[in-house]
Amino acid sequence: MSTVNAAFEDLNDLAQSATAQFANAHTPAELENAKAQFLGKAGRVTALMKGLAQFSADEKKTRGAAINQTKQAIEVALNARRQALQEAELERQLAAEALDVTLPGRQRGQGGLHPISLTWQRIEQIFGSMGFDVGDGPEIENDWYNFTALNNPPNHPARSMQDTFYVDMNDADGHPYCLRTHTSPMQIRYAVAHARRQAAELAHGQMSEIRVIVPGRTYRVDNDATHSPMFHQFEGLWLGENVSFKDLKVTYLSFCKAFFETDDLILRFRPSYFPFTEPSAEIDIQFQHGPLAGKWLEVSGSGQVHPQVVRNMGLDPERFIGFAFGSGIDRLAMLRYGVNDLRLFFEGDIRFLGQFR
Ligand code: PHE
């Protein structure tokens, strides 16, 4: 056998053993090691190339060509193995990250309105449908609007009906600030603003009537299952030339029927006292059916607006009469949803709040 042939057989073996070693490599790192043994600086193919130096020019040519072929064959085997390993890795990843396209999609957490906000909106919507404007006013109120203008003079014992939080500050007129104990101060603020807006008409004795509700937050020193230091009320005020208690009754009854979505309820106007109304009444509601059937439940204070209060609005009590009421939004929400502890509304527990949509 000539040296050339022997060399060719060696080369054949070399290519085969490279292919076999590549096949034994199961990771890219193992494959790189195997490659180095053949094609690396100290590899067997490189050694053969270096060995060419000792041969004649002719032999160099034939041997060189044969070695190059072998080198190419080894590179082809190497690339094939590389690709096979990559594909296997991809398969493995795909299997590991298997995606079940039949699973329901992940939903974005869906928020909703707070039950008190829902109730608040419902009240605005129902009174809006009866022609009531919706007003809004400050929660930090001064003593004049919260008490004095409502015929509740300083040091009058009726002030203690509504124990409040005072703010250690006076307004420009020296009235102390407090957190409003009710939405009634908005009777005065709204009427004054209304009269100002209509000053021209008023000069001709033409002022349009006032028909408004004012929902909002109110504050008292109170805390138990049915009272919270912060709670919600809405004030109602209807003042005109010819507005009577009868209108209060019809208005409030219509509201309750719409709010509770039933005609099966009756109202009771129970005589009461408020400094800013005369006569005054508590409005009690009684459901004829359902879990609360037969019980009288207080939902609102009300009464005919006191002449002194009308005067404090800057209006003539001989011309403007009407009624006001102040109802608990939280109380109405509790009755509508069957919630028996007011505090649940304000604790922020999503398991509770998530039930109202
Ligand atoms: N402001 C009274 C309260 O909070 C309720 C009320 C409003 C009574 C309007 C009469 C008229 O208790």
Residue 93 and residue 85 in contact, taking contact as beta carbons nearer than 8 Å: no
* Its pTM surpasses 0.75: no
Residue found by looking up tokens 């505090």 in the block: 343
Q: What is the pLDDT tens value at each position of the chain, 357 positions in all?
A: 445 454 555 888 899 999 999 999 999 999 999 999 999 998 999 988 888 889 999 998 998 999 999 999 999 999 999 999 999 999 998 888 888 889 888 888 888 999 999 999 999 999 999 999 999 999 999 989 999 999 988 777 767 666 788 888 898 988 889 999 999 999 999 999 998 888 776 666 677 899 999 999 999 988 888 888 999 999 999 999 999 999 999 999 999 999 999 999 999 999 999 999 999 999 999 999 999 999 999 999 999 999 999 999 999 999 999 999 999 999 999 999 999 999 999 999 999 999 997
Pairing of the two strands 265-274 and 277-287: antiparallel
Say if CB 318 and CB 299 are below 8 A apart.
no
> Residue 2 has what pLDDT?
43
Whole-number Å distance, alpha carbon 326 to ligand 1 midpoint, is 4
The pLDDT assigned to 351 comes to 93
Tokens 């396209």 belong to 101
Q: Find out whether the beta carbon of 303 lies less than 6 Å from any atom of ligand 1.
A: yes
Ligand 1 atom closest to Cα of residue 323:
11
pLDDT the model gives residue 98? 80
| pLDDT of res. 223 | 84
Give me the pLDDT at residue 270, please: 98
| Long-range contacts of 171-174, Cβ-Cβ distance < 8 Å, separation of 24 or more | 171/142, 173/142, 173/144
Q: 301 alpha carbon to ligand 1 midpoint, in Å?
A: 5
Question: For ligand 1, atom 10, which residue shows the shortest CA distance?
Answer: 302
Q: Could you tell me if the CB of 277 is within 6 A of ligand 1? A: yes
- For residue 343, the model assigns a pLDDT of 92
- Predicted local distance difference test score (pLDDT) of residue 7: 55
Q: How much is the pLDDT for 166?
A: 85
Ligand 1 test: best mutation among 164, 237, 239, 274, most atoms within 8 Å of CB?
274
SS3 state at 182: coil
Q: Is 184 in the pocket of ligand 1 (CB under 6 A)?
A: yes
